[in-house]
Structure 1
Amino acid sequence: MKTDNDLVQKFYQNLGKLFYAIAAVDNNVRDVELEKLKNVVKKEWLTTNLIDNSLKINIEDSIINTFKWLHDDNEYHAETCYNSFLTFKKEHESLFTDRMNTLILKTARAIAASFSKVNKLELMLLTKLDMELKNIKT
């Protein structure tokens, strides 16, 4: 991903919003969901060749810190965060390549499955996300 640093920072912050929305959709963000996100970011995001090496240091901080901030602030609803992510996505479609979308979905699914399998609300949001990333209109 070659682009300016501010846009990249916003991209990862919006991923933090998305991943928070996945965890918060059932109105209960659990520690295990944050831990799963941290693990997936380290194992998948920091090792991918989709991201310029000079930006990898910011990935973990941006995604994780945004997620934590939203959780700690406790004023943001999953739907608000998800819609904010969608707005960003629509404004920057070129960042959302097939490979990037696959990694986003993989991360979202891992978060949803981290506590007692995927519940109905998480499944519905994952389905919406999958359709959005594939640009399938309902």
Structure 2
Amino acid sequence: MLNSEKIGNEFYQNLGMLFYAVAMADNKIKPIEKARLQKYVRQHWLDVDDVEDEFHTDAAYQIEIVFDWLEGEEKDSNEYFEAFKGFYKDHPEKFTPKSKVLIIETAESIAHAFAGKNKSEMLAIFKLKQLFNH
């Protein structure tokens, strides 16, 4: 696998961590939040680029795979946000203005999926917007 493909896969894996952190900000993943993520992956993320994973499927599916895997872990959602933040700072070139907008839209859609955004989800999205503005 080429280094650019490896970083492309890591990009999507880190998005999975970020979206999990947003959904888990209130300490519970609701089925509707997961469904909203799947909808966004299929309707928006599959068309972002041509990066494939080692199984020759669209790397954007890594978002869902990582999200699902993290459900089995028992870590604080803030750890996953910090991991995403580290990837963002190490690879700012992967984050185009268009992808940043889509990331924020996806995060907000997940947060709105169940009875609107709550305070902890709003804080997670605020931190994301702050990160992108620096």
Give the TM-score, by structure 1 length.
Answer: 0.88
In 1: Cα distance, 2:71 partner to 2:87 partner: 20
Residue 19 of structure 2 aligns with which residue? 19
**Residue 114 of structure 2: aligned partner:** 115
The number of equivalent residue pairs is 128
Distance 1:126 1:107 in 2: 10
- Match of 2:59, SS state, is helix
Identity level (%): 33
Unaligned stretches of 5+ residues in structure 2? none
Counterpart residue type for residue 78 of structure 1: S
Match of 1:76 in 2: 75
CA distance in 1, matches of 2:47, 2:87: 24
C-alpha RMSD of matched pairs (Å): 1.3
Q: How far 1:47 moved relative to its partner?
A: 3.0
Give deviations 1:80-119, integer Å, cap 9, x for gaps: 0000000010000111111110000000000000001000
Q: Aligned residue for 1:10?
A: 10
SS in 1 for 2:115: coil
Calculate the TM-score normalised by the size of structure 2: 0.90
* Residue of structure 2 in register with 1:38 after alignment: 38
1:41-56 alignment, distance < 5 Å? 41-48=41-48, 51-52=49-50, 54-55=51-52
CA shift for structure 1 position 72: 2.0
Corresponding residue for 2:93? 94
Whole-Å separation in 1 of the counterparts to 2:133 and 2:40: 22
CA deviations 1:62-93 (Å, max 9, x no partner) are: 100100000122x1211000000000100001
Deviation above 2 Å: which 4+ runs of structure 1? none
SS of the counterpart of 2:29?
coil
Q: Which amino acid aligns with 1:72?
A: G
In the aligned structure 2, how far is the partner of 1:57 from the partner of 1:124?
A: 31
